[in-house]
Amino acid sequence: MLKLLRQEGFASILEVIVASVIFVVTALGAFSSIAMLRSQGGGSTRELEALYIGKRVMDDLRGQVYGNLWASGPLSTVGNPYTQTITVGARTYTVTYSMVDTQVSSGYPWTRRMDMTVQY
Protein backbone atom coordinates (compact mmCIF):
# COMPACT_ATOMS: atom_id res chain seq x y z
CA MET A 1 0.00 0.00 0.00
CA LEU A 2 2.78 2.42 0.91
CA LYS A 3 4.55 1.54 -2.34
CA LEU A 4 1.39 2.38 -4.29
CA LEU A 5 1.06 5.79 -2.60
CA ARG A 6 4.66 6.68 -3.41
CA GLN A 7 4.24 5.77 -7.05
CA GLU A 8 1.05 7.71 -7.68
CA GLY A 9 1.84 10.62 -5.36
CA PHE A 10 -0.18 11.10 -2.18
CA ALA A 11 -1.25 14.72 -2.58
CA SER A 12 -0.04 17.78 -4.34
CA ILE A 13 0.85 20.95 -2.46
CA LEU A 14 -2.27 22.64 -3.85
CA GLU A 15 -4.53 19.96 -2.40
CA VAL A 16 -2.85 20.29 1.01
CA ILE A 17 -3.33 24.10 1.00
CA VAL A 18 -7.00 23.80 0.01
CA ALA A 19 -7.65 21.20 2.70
CA SER A 20 -5.90 23.40 5.30
CA VAL A 21 -7.97 26.45 4.35
CA ILE A 22 -11.20 24.47 4.60
CA PHE A 23 -10.19 23.16 8.03
CA VAL A 24 -9.27 26.64 9.33
CA VAL A 25 -12.53 28.20 8.12
CA THR A 26 -14.56 25.40 9.71
CA ALA A 27 -12.67 25.66 13.00
CA LEU A 28 -13.09 29.45 13.18
CA GLY A 29 -16.82 29.14 12.57
CA ALA A 30 -17.22 26.54 15.31
CA PHE A 31 -15.18 28.55 17.84
CA SER A 32 -17.05 31.79 17.14
CA SER A 33 -20.38 30.00 17.57
CA ILE A 34 -19.28 28.61 20.93
CA ALA A 35 -18.03 32.04 22.05
CA MET A 36 -21.38 33.67 21.18
CA LEU A 37 -23.32 31.04 23.13
CA ARG A 38 -21.21 31.56 26.24
CA SER A 39 -21.73 35.35 26.30
CA GLN A 40 -25.50 34.97 25.95
CA GLY A 41 -25.55 32.46 28.78
CA GLY A 42 -23.81 34.93 31.07
CA GLY A 43 -26.44 37.57 30.36
CA SER A 44 -29.28 35.25 31.26
CA THR A 45 -27.52 34.40 34.53
CA ARG A 46 -27.53 38.08 35.50
CA GLU A 47 -31.21 38.39 34.53
CA LEU A 48 -32.11 35.37 36.64
CA GLU A 49 -30.14 36.72 39.60
CA ALA A 50 -31.93 40.10 39.25
CA LEU A 51 -35.26 38.25 39.24
CA TYR A 52 -34.39 36.52 42.52
CA ILE A 53 -33.27 39.85 44.05
CA GLY A 54 -36.68 41.34 43.19
CA LYS A 55 -38.46 38.31 44.62
CA ARG A 56 -36.46 38.64 47.84
CA VAL A 57 -37.47 42.31 48.19
CA MET A 58 -41.13 41.37 47.64
CA ASP A 59 -40.90 38.61 50.26
CA ASP A 60 -39.36 41.06 52.74
CA LEU A 61 -42.22 43.50 52.12
CA ARG A 62 -44.84 40.76 52.54
CA GLY A 63 -43.43 40.14 55.99
CA GLN A 64 -44.12 43.78 56.88
CA VAL A 65 -47.87 43.80 56.17
CA TYR A 66 -49.20 45.18 59.45
CA GLY A 67 -51.78 47.89 60.10
CA ASN A 68 -49.29 50.38 61.46
CA LEU A 69 -46.94 50.02 58.45
CA TRP A 70 -49.73 50.20 55.87
CA ALA A 71 -50.13 53.97 56.21
CA SER A 72 -46.44 54.80 56.60
CA GLY A 73 -43.19 53.08 55.78
CA PRO A 74 -42.21 51.03 52.74
CA LEU A 75 -45.77 49.81 52.09
CA SER A 76 -47.39 53.24 51.94
CA THR A 77 -48.18 55.14 48.77
CA VAL A 78 -46.60 58.27 50.27
CA GLY A 79 -42.96 58.90 49.42
CA ASN A 80 -42.94 56.69 46.34
CA PRO A 81 -40.77 55.41 44.73
CA TYR A 82 -38.52 53.58 47.15
CA THR A 83 -35.00 52.56 46.12
CA GLN A 84 -32.70 49.88 47.53
CA THR A 85 -29.20 49.02 46.42
CA ILE A 86 -28.24 45.38 46.89
CA THR A 87 -24.75 44.01 46.26
CA VAL A 88 -24.22 40.32 45.56
CA GLY A 89 -20.58 39.42 45.10
CA ALA A 90 -19.12 41.96 42.68
CA ARG A 91 -22.50 42.87 41.13
CA THR A 92 -24.72 45.73 42.27
CA TYR A 93 -28.49 45.72 41.76
CA THR A 94 -30.75 48.74 42.18
CA VAL A 95 -34.33 47.88 43.11
CA THR A 96 -36.91 50.63 42.68
CA TYR A 97 -40.53 50.01 43.64
CA SER A 98 -43.67 52.00 44.24
CA MET A 99 -47.01 51.16 45.78
CA VAL A 100 -50.21 52.20 43.97
CA ASP A 101 -53.73 52.08 45.41
CA THR A 102 -56.22 50.09 43.33
CA GLN A 103 -59.78 48.95 43.87
CA VAL A 104 -60.54 45.41 42.79
CA SER A 105 -64.33 45.83 42.58
CA SER A 106 -67.07 47.63 44.42
CA GLY A 107 -67.72 46.35 47.89
CA TYR A 108 -64.11 45.30 48.45
CA PRO A 109 -61.57 47.43 50.25
CA TRP A 110 -58.77 49.15 48.40
CA THR A 111 -55.77 47.03 47.60
CA ARG A 112 -52.27 48.02 46.59
CA ARG A 113 -50.29 47.08 43.52
CA MET A 114 -46.51 47.12 43.50
CA ASP A 115 -44.55 48.26 40.43
CA MET A 116 -40.91 47.16 40.56
CA THR A 117 -37.81 47.66 38.44
CA VAL A 118 -34.49 45.92 39.04
CA GLN A 119 -31.51 47.48 37.28
CA TYR A 120 -28.37 45.42 36.86
Across residues 55-70, what is the average pLDDT? 80
The H or E element that residue 84 is part of is strand 82-88
* Per-residue pLDDT, 118: 92
pTM: predicted TM-score of the whole model, two decimal places: 0.56
Beta carbons within 10 angstroms of residue 6's beta carbon: 9
Average pLDDT of span 18-38: 88
Tell whether omega for the bond before 81 is within 30 degrees of 0, i.e. cis. yes
> How remote is the C-alpha of 88 from its chain's centroid?
14
Query: What is the arithmetic mean of pLDDT over 40-64?
Result: 83
pLDDT of residue 27: 93
- What is the rounded distance in angstroms from the CA atom of residue 69 to the CA atom of residue 89? 31
